[in-house]
Structure 1
C-alpha cells in the first residue's frame, strides 16, 4: 500500500497534480452554481417585468 502512495518516486508530482485538479473542479462547480443562480434571477426579473407590461 505504501508503494502505491509513493508512486515509484513521483508521488509529489502525482499527488500535487491530483490535488490541484480537484481544487479546479470544485472551483468550477461553485462558479457554475453561482452563474446559474444569477441567470435564474435575471429570467425571473424579465418574466416579472413582462407580466407588468401586459397587465398595464
Structure 2
C-alpha cells in the first residue's frame, strides 16, 4: 500500500486503534513471556545448584554404592519393559 503522508500511515485508514493496539499488545505479551522464561531459568538453575550441593559433587549422596541417589520416578523411568 502507498500512503500520501506519514499521518495517513499512522492513521491506517481509520483503523489505527486496532492495528497499533494489536502490535502493542503483542509486544507486551512477548516481553512478559521473556521475563517469565528468564525468571523460570534462574529458579531452575538455583534449584539445580541447591540439589548438587545437597547430593555432593560426586553424586554419591545416597551413601550406598557409587552412583547418585535415585528417586522412585527415576528408577521407574530408567527400567526397560
Please state which band the TM-score falls in when normalised by the shorter chain: 0.7 to 0.9
* TM-score, with length taken from structure 2: 0.61
The alignment yields a C-alpha RMSD, in angstroms, of: 1.5
TM-fit CA distance, 1:48: 0.5
Unaligned runs of 5+ in 2: 1-5, 63-81
Unaligned runs of 5+ in 1: none
Larger radius of gyration: 2
**Aligned pairs, number:** 54
Q: Which structure would you say has the larger RCO, counting Cα contacts within 8 Å and 6 or more residues apart?
A: 1
* TM-score, with length taken from structure 1: 0.86
